[in-house]
Structure 1
Amino acid sequence: MPNPEERGTTDEHDSRTPLDRTIDRIGMGASEQPKNGTYQWTLLFLCGFGWMADNMWMQAVAIILPRVQDQYSIPDSQIGALFSSMFAGMMIGAIGSDLLGRSTAFNGTLLFTSLFGLAATLTTSFWSLCLALFLLGSAVGGSMPTDGTLILEQLPNNKKYLVTALTVFFSIGAVFAAVVALIIIPRYTCFAADCDVAKDNLGWKYLLVSLCVITLLMTVLRVIFFRIYESPRFLVAAGRPTEAMENLQLISKFNGEELDLSLRDVRDYFGTLRSRRSHSYSATSPARNRPEEEQSFLPATNSSVIFNADTDETTEVSRSKPNSPDYNTTGETSTIVNNPHPYSPLALETSSLPNSGSPVNSPSQSHGRGHQRLHSGLSIAEDDEDDEWKVTPRSPRIPRIPRSRRSSVVSVHYKSMTWLPQFIRKPLLAYIDRIALVLTPEWIWKTLTVWAIWFSMALAYTMFNAFLPKLLEKRLEGMNPEPSLGRSAAGIRSAESSLEDSLWDVVIYSIGGCPGAILGAYLVDSPFGRRWSLAGSTFLTAFFCAVFVKVDSPLLLKASTVGTSLASTTMWGILYGWTPEIFSTNVRGSACGIASALSRIGGMIAPILGGQLLTISVSLPVYTSVVSFIIAGICVLFLKEAEKQEGEERVILH
């Protein structure tokens, strides 16, 4: 049997595109590769830094929260704003990284994280610190989706499971922050009643400076000692196949072998040009700005083509300037895997405009066997299937779509928003379309259930995690056999011991979560399946949170935190993997993207709400987390598990 990975050969059972086969040839286990994918392994390790930094800084903010409260005399009702500020920045950062592109975001996010972290150490008030952490969150928040999608695009199809390794880096980040805090904070924390907090309570600032240095070292390793090549999938989707071919050759050379490639090796569609002749377009504008061979690869990045079932006419809805690729890390794309997903650096932005008489074919649906990749605004002519396409791009415009072809949602909102500027109206309409797509009668119940799960889990997990160091200090102080020593010398030693013990508990808590991602990956394919594994881990997390409040022994307190950490990390690992499988291809990107956004919103609400609850009782935030976890677990039980389709690709969610 011929090897389908060899150029020029095909297999009728091989669902890979020529680009897929080329990427599979150049590393990570390919028989002809003596270095066994050195480039991909190095990139996987460096992308892990982005995930590590994300959780490292979140854990650091949770650790410094009690120290900041002492520094600026902030009441419990307001201290949650510190954590919420960072979460708000992370949500903005995930969206803002769309404008940068993958290579720029890969090189810049950690650099700006270290700079904004340094700015946080220079603040002199609580609210200026919140602003600095918002900026820090906007930098580090763009790292995870960019890094995750970048490595996913570079991995061969049979190695995409290695994306799970990024979640291990994520857990290690929390451990790293906790260990550094354990070394620094107890030595530079003020316990005496008459101490000068401006001089003697600087441990939390030293912690931030240390993490800035560590993050800067990560940046140096990523930028100076390694050259990243732009993703070939992104370049092909952006209409730059020649660059994609050159980058593949450079990556192959990095891995120890030089390949002779042609443009046909980077075509990211199925079949031949002759088989696609049924979809032709005409245009009158002359070609501009691109070599002719690259014009053949111009994707339908910024438009949707709506077909009339009774005619051969098409209507194009152009969405942006010509030859201007969309750098969208959190939108929908078919350039990375066969399915759209929420964290994709290049979103082939399309709006599904359903019409009973006019089926829709959008770019996100055109990446599988039997689908045609449509090239909007192009004139395609071919004399032979081996010839390059001759393409003439049309000038961008937004034609008036006949009323009979518009969906009711788009029609209503298009009319009501004509007064808005175009740069606001277009993304707003696209967002409305995305929501409308997943709220159709077929999907509404399942969509709302998944959204409730993501929101509830994020609310519960963040409320517990953000206040854990503070809760541990209070619990350990309550277990102290001599609590009445106050600010005497013995009392200060007792407070120092309680702080050090609480930080040790944070370290143990962080280490306890490291196996969670691997355990989650195992459970989804166990006899328990995805549904019962997710529900079980969620209920188990709620159980250990309740135990945390009830126990009166330091040993049992440690055990409850380890149980909470392991169960919650397993829960998130299963949720990340299962959510994309719940939805079909045409709605997956929209449903998952909004679910991820809701989890960020839950993360922003949790610290504010938890701070208010702390003023009532120190245990109330934990009980609220327990209830929220139980609600999420019940919602999981309402979902039905379906068999994962063979050949379905992984996607990145965060």
Structure 2
Amino acid sequence: MSAEHSPALASSEKGHEKSATAGPDVILDDYSAAEGSDILALPNDLALNAKIHLVNNAIDEIGWTNYHWKLFVLNGFGYAVDSLCLLLQSIIATQAGYEFTPSYSRALTVAVYVGMLFGALFWGISGDIIGRRFAFNTSLFLCSMFTIIAGAAPNWVALAVFIALLGFGGGGNLIMDTTVFIEYLPSNKQWVLTWLAAWWGLGQAIAGFIAWGFLSPLKWNCPDPFDKAGVRTSFCHKDSNMGWRYVMYTSGALVFAMSIARITVIRLKETPKYLLGEGKDQQLVADFHAMAAKYNRPCSITIEKLDACGVINSAHAKNAFSIGELTIHFRGLFATKTIGLSTVLIWLSWTLIGLAYPLFYVFLSSYLSSRGADFGNVSTYDTWRNYALVNISGIPGPMLAGYMCNFRLLGRKYTMVIGALITMVFFFAYTAIRNESENVGFSCAIAFCLNIYYGTLYAYTPEVLPSAHRATGNGVAVACNRIMGIVSAIVATYANTETSVPIYVCAALYIAMAAVAVAFPFEPYGKRSS
């Protein structure tokens, strides 16, 4: 399943060393100097290019180890928590609404997306300024605390505030998990980054099973206290409506266990490419040799080789906590025309998928009802069982994507094209369903196909961003996605949900996603992340 690229790497070694040491007269374009080597080369910092190349050589020399397996699981926890957090608010909204009678029913949706928006920006930018390790060790802990506290919320406003705060804690996981993982991965295992998205589906499935366990029993949940006209006919007290609180307590405890595992199962050291940008070459070399000794692998990187490359001048400002530091990280995402185009198209892709997916489901139920779909009287038990089944179906999607993107003819770009177009086909077909069995079947198919696209986009984004600015670029990409989640909630509140127009708009968005994927200037297949 993996592709070995060592011959290409060996053949490009001399070309890269020459470009790094030949002085300022050497001109590099956006692409690395030789086919099969590093994806990016920055023309304004030859020392950084040369050092990145040496670090990639060291990572490839050591290869895949048990340390990478631990990173795969522990970074996967972050993916699972991100999806769990997004679903919790929708899972508990109905039962919490019975108890609190909210004036704005979609407040929890807006709250979680706002929290995740600011979380993506905060953890992403801070990951480039103060390092990846801090976010890796603290974000899940914050998320777990606010999830548990949200379960004790006394009213709707307080619940929305705590939902926003748990979203802030968990909102950086998609950024930091991929950033940390890619900066340790040997080049012939970069496709494994796509597999991380399987944890997203697992997180959704866990949310479904927790809801199935606590929201099905009548002893923990109030019946609907409103009549068909929306008038309250009975009261829903806390003592008879503990199901949604148990969901939050259980989820928070699970996330807390994950946060403890992150600091006990593995003692994460700062990533080598962040250390490189910080100028901490001695620590970088020491960490590599310690890893090589632990797993009995060769490691030839030395301080002398790194020193010979020169001094990096584009990774940080003199003052880390300054406007200049922020400027450097955003400017680095547009260092050349090709890198700038890549950055813009990545952000556009995250924006499109962030709008298309939730917008479709905002309109779907009303659209189907207006066209005669009849799902019958589905019990609460069956509802949450079906919910879990659909979410489980999302787990294999990224696994298939990892296999597909490792074929030369497909690569990352055309794997995304296929995932987007197949999802669009199933979305169109979904509008023809008329019963509950068809509903579950098509929902499972969409969850599977969509994660082919999503899983590959998750992996592609950090692969093609410059290492010194990777977390910032990734953070802005995820933030674009969260903004569209807020937009979808607002649209759901004020738009006519029975018209067919939004269905076709969503289909057009998936076609646009496929077109953007084709237009991406970089194909990571056979190359090493910079």
TM-score (norm 1): 0.62
- Bigger proportion of residues as helix: 2
2:508 paired residue number:
630
Confirm whether residue 605 of structure 1 aligns to residue 501 of structure 2: no
Q: Give a deviation string over 1:459-494, Cα, whole Å, max 9, x none.
A: 1213346899x989999x98466xxxxxxxxxxxx6
Q: Distance between the aligned counterparts of 2:247 and 2:216, measured in 1? A: 11
1:132 paired residue number:
162
Q: Is the contact between residue 94 and residue 138 of structure 1 (CA under 8 Å) also seen in structure 2?
A: yes
Q: Distance between the aligned counterparts of 2:399 and 2:445, measured in 1? A: 15
Confirm whether residue 461 of structure 1 aligns to residue 385 of structure 2: no
- Alignment equivalent of 2:89, drawn from 61, 67, 84: 61
Q: Is the contact between residue 168 and residue 517 of structure 1 (CA under 8 Å) also seen in structure 2?
A: yes
Kindly indicate whether structure 1 or structure 2 has the higher relative contact order, using CA contacts under 8 Å at least 6 residues apart. Answer: 2
1:178 paired residue number:
208
Confirm whether residue 264 of structure 1 aligns to residue 304 of structure 2: yes
Task: Report the structure number with the largest CA radius of gyration.
Answer: 1
- Alignment equivalent of 2:392, drawn from 502, 508, 511: 511
Deviation at 1:22, TM superposition (A): 2.5
Q: Is the contact between residue 39 and residue 254 of structure 1 (CA under 8 Å) also seen in structure 2?
A: no
Confirm whether residue 648 of structure 1 aligns to residue 527 of structure 2: yes
1:191 paired residue number:
223
Q: Is the contact between residue 459 and residue 625 of structure 1 (CA under 8 Å) also seen in structure 2?
A: no
Q: Give a deviation string over 1:553-590, Cα, whole Å, max 9, x none.
A: 11111112112212221222344456689999999999
Q: Distance between the aligned counterparts of 2:79 and 2:381, measured in 1? A: 27
Q: Is the contact between residue 333 and residue 340 of structure 2 (CA under 8 Å) also seen in structure 1?
A: no
2:41 paired residue number:
none
> Residues 86, 258 of structure 1: CA spacing in aligned structure 2 closer, same or farther, 3 A cutoff?
same
TM-score (norm 2): 0.75
SS of match in other structure, 1:603: helix
> Residues 67, 464 of structure 1: CA spacing in aligned structure 2 closer, same or farther, 3 A cutoff?
farther
2:14 paired residue number:
12
Deviation at 1:630, TM superposition (A): 1.7
> Residues 601, 502 of structure 1: CA spacing in aligned structure 2 closer, same or farther, 3 A cutoff?
same
Instruction: Give the residue type in structure 2 aligned to 1:519.
Output: L
Q: Give a deviation string over 1:102-124, Cα, whole Å, max 9, x none.
A: 22211111111110111211212
Unmatched 5+ residue regions in structure 1?
29-36, 277-295, 303-318, 327-422, 482-493
SS of match in other structure, 2:315: coil
Instruction: Give the residue type in structure 1 aligned to 2:479.
Output: A
1:146 paired residue number:
176
- Which deviates the most, 175-184 or 147-156? 147-156
Instruction: Give the residue type in structure 2 aligned to 1:505.
Output: N
Q: Is the contact between residue 541 and residue 564 of structure 1 (CA under 8 Å) also seen in structure 2?
A: yes
> Residues 427, 169 of structure 1: CA spacing in aligned structure 2 closer, same or farther, 3 A cutoff?
same
- Alignment equivalent of 2:243, drawn from 203, 206, 222: 203
Confirm whether residue 39 of structure 1 aligns to residue 71 of structure 2: no
Deviation at 1:147, TM superposition (A): 1.9
> Residues 454, 226 of structure 1: CA spacing in aligned structure 2 closer, same or farther, 3 A cutoff?
closer
SS of match in other structure, 1:229: coil
- Alignment equivalent of 2:122, drawn from 92, 96, 117: 96
Deviation at 1:297, TM superposition (A): 5.6
Please give the residue correspondences for 1:264-343 in structure 2 after superposition, counting only pairs within 5 Å. 264=304, 267=306, 273=308, 299-302=313-316, 319-321=317-319, 324=320
Tell me the number of residue pairs that the alignment of Structure 1 and Structure 2 aligns. 472
Confirm whether residue 554 of structure 1 aligns to residue 450 of structure 2: no
Q: Is the contact between residue 274 and residue 467 of structure 2 (CA under 8 Å) also seen in structure 1?
A: no
2:77 paired residue number:
49
- Which deviates the most, 443-452 or 508-517? 443-452
1:251 paired residue number:
291
Q: Distance between the aligned counterparts of 1:583 and 1:435, measured in 2? A: 7
1:212 paired residue number:
252
Q: Distance between the aligned counterparts of 2:12 and 2:339, measured in 1? A: 37
SS of match in other structure, 2:164: helix
Q: Distance between the aligned counterparts of 1:20 and 1:446, measured in 2? A: 22
Deviation at 1:11, TM superposition (A): 4.8
Q: Is the contact between residue 461 and residue 625 of structure 1 (CA under 8 Å) also seen in structure 2?
A: no
Please give the residue correspondences for 1:560-639 in structure 2 after superposition, counting only pairs within 5 Å. 560-576=442-458, 595-613=477-495, 616-617=496-497, 619=498, 624=502, 626-634=504-512, 636-637=514-515, 639=518
Q: Distance between the aligned counterparts of 1:182 and 1:649, measured in 2? A: 43
Q: Give a deviation string over 1:600-621, Cα, whole Å, max 9, x none.
A: 21122112222334xx54x56x
> Residues 263, 430 of structure 1: CA spacing in aligned structure 2 closer, same or farther, 3 A cutoff?
closer
Deviation at 1:226, TM superposition (A): 2.5
Q: Give a deviation string over 1:382-426, Cα, whole Å, max 9, x none.
A: xxxxxxxxxxxxxxxxxxxxxxxxxxxxxxxxxxxxxxxxx45x4
Deviation at 1:260, TM superposition (A): 8.6
Q: Distance between the aligned counterparts of 2:76 and 2:484, measured in 1? A: 25
Q: Distance between the aligned counterparts of 2:285 and 2:468, measured in 1? A: 29
Q: Give a deviation string over 1:431-459, Cα, whole Å, max 9, x none.
A: 88579878x7x899988776554323211
Q: Distance between the aligned counterparts of 1:251 and 1:136, measured in 2? A: 35
- Alignment equivalent of 1:232, drawn from 244, 265, 272: 272
2:196 paired residue number:
166
Q: Distance between the aligned counterparts of 2:343 and 2:264, measured in 1? A: 44
Instruction: Give the residue type in structure 2 aligned to 1:560.
Output: F
After superposition, the CA RMSD in angstroms is 4.2
1:520 paired residue number:
401
Q: Distance between the aligned counterparts of 1:447 and 1:261, measured in 2? A: 31
Unmatched 5+ residue regions in structure 2?
1-5, 17-36, 39-52, 226-233
